[in-house]
Structure 1
Amino acid sequence: MKVYEALRAMSRPELKSILPSKRTLNRLLFDFDSRLSYRKAIPVLSTVYSNLDRPHEIRLPKSITGSDLMVQKNILATVRNKTNVINKNLVDLENELVEQAAELGDNDAITMLAFETLNSKSTSSAEDFAYAQELVKGLVDKKHPLVFKMLGDLAFFQKKQHASGVEYWKQFLELESDTVMASQVYSNLGVYYFSYMTPKPDLTLAKQNFEKSINVGELDKYTVIAHYYLGQLYAVVDPELGKYHLEVAASQGLKESFATLGFLEMNTFKEYVKAIEWFNLGNEVSNDLTCMVGKFDCYVNLKEYEKAGEVLGKLEGIEQQIKNVRVKRLIPKTEELEQSLNTNESTLKLFFETRKDSVETVRRNI
């Protein structure tokens, strides 16, 4: 076993070769209000990293707290999320930082490990599961903020108990309302009020929560989603503001934003060339069929019938492909495929039903 551990350790790259630059880390340490400077943080990270395969040998200075380790963990997570690069060695380092922080009594770390067990009930022993439940109950009694956020996530996303999830999130915000994590919760609440609330959406509350998410958060996937939804909410009442929010979402690569921006440029601003640019991006990123529909409309408005005809031919080709799949079952049937086929069928049906005159005009002019 010791030989195996030594080989594993030797196979890992040097820590500094996979960490961001010193300048970037210094900025993140400042942004996260780290108690440890770069000079003190690197030895701590190095100690944990060099012992990932033998964590029982990790020895940290007595001055290091669980909170210090969680700050380093959150910095690494921020780098991972912003770069969209997952380095297994750094993920292992993140996980071990949480383990070490929990041993030092950090409640955030304890919460995360408890929910890791609760979220993997099928692979957790009954004893571990019961202990995790006990830990969560104790954290609730202490009113530790993160436990309410994670209870909300568990209820809303895994158990699909939306109302229960929202109540937990509200309890979290009563304890912590102006942090990056609060920004995530505001964004989730905005989506709830926009898309999930019954019997009908509450767009006023959705708008308020999306704006709060942006105000207290950083530019991450949660605030990008907030910008996207605000773009839709403002598209009619304040198109310029709606366009701004959608452009922020698009600049961060949110694929849903390209088609929405294209239709806004086309229908509201009559900027057909700009709209085509957004539709092209949407096609490149996600093969969004609505982007092809948008391009067809733009070319018709520009009277560029040859190009409109090319798009029409592609749409007809996709329609035929779907028919072939339905009849011959050329592709193994899966739930994901079925959903994709249904969505594309609905889009094509609406296209051919609502654009008969445009299609006829294009055919006459090519």
Structure 2
Amino acid sequence: MTALPGGAPGSAAATPMRARAVVDLAAVRANVHALRERAPRAELMAVVKSDGYGHGALPCARAARQAGATWLGTATPQEALALRAAGDTGRLLCWLWTPGGPWREAVEADVDVSVSGMWALREAAAAARATGRTARVQLKIDTGLGRNGCQPADWPELISAARAAEAEGTLAVTGIWSHFACADEPGHPSIPAQLAAYREALAAAERVGLAPEVRHIANSPATLTIPESHFDLVRPGISVYGLSPSPEIGLPAEFGLRPAMTLSADIALVKRVPSGHGVSYGHQYVTPGETTLALIPVGYADGIPRHASGTGPVLVGGKWRTVAGRVAMDQFAVDLGGDTVEVGDEAVLFGPGDRGEPTAEDWARAAGTISYEIVTRIGTRVPRVHLDDLP
């Protein structure tokens, strides 16, 4: 395994930024270490899909490799090929394929490709023959999630065909894997049912002669709370970035995790307004008395959820404030009451919580969603600033 090539530590640009998402790569490394301690006998795949859950795939992949992640995982082949183009040469799995995808490029780049049905196996084999290389293939079984993965009824055909292709040297079955539906719900009956179905699929694959390098089903919540699911490899995603997959199973600090992203913006305007003044579209908020408003220059075009209108928390002037009225495309307001701040002061939307600021989980509750969506939806207009303590 070879990590991504090094680079200079990230730092804020000299020109002041309207907003920024600061990503602490030391926290990413510490999170990977904490996750490895939860699964000491398994390898670890750091999932860096969706631009590293909004944190920046390349810097976070490098940090995860440095902390001992022997695998990386992506959804789309384009994400996987971008990692290869950036210099990553370690084990890498990509799982979301459609017909006509860049199978040949992935085989040439030594990317493990996931196969959930016969059509995909045929395309992977054709790419291998075209390149003269052996395709690295991982077979996915649907153990009950009902999304991607081969149905148990079709599994015998798939594993037999895969074994035949392996015997002729077209491909190597490097992994057999699945995904939990409810691992973030402790005690859910689907968890043992899926584990049983997965073990049955493994046994069937063994009977036809397949001997994969890695067997894996554990996502973030399973890595943290279901040790019997760890097998050869665990596959955490959101927890790599320091967020708990579900507050029901525990807060980040309970697992030794630290949120890596802090989202903040510089206040664009401060003004006094009279009692009864409407704020933002639809006047859903009207000032109850003479007050001071502060304008925060980010909105739903930057990924701030409009569903958090009137509920989203922000740390301004050392106190929690709430979005006043609707979140607009590029901005929203907060009511400071009797307080005041200066234009250019920092407003912190979320972070680890060390300074009393809200967290991504607080925003998730305010918007009626999950923390995954809060961090991954932060848009490209918000620069990522990567902080690193390594040379």
Higher share of residues assigned helix: 1
Higher share of residues assigned strand: 2
Q: Compare relative contact order (CA 8 Å, sep 6+) and give the higher one, 1 or 2.
A: 2
Give the structure with higher Rg (CA): 1
TM-score by length of 2: 0.28
TM-score by length of 1: 0.29
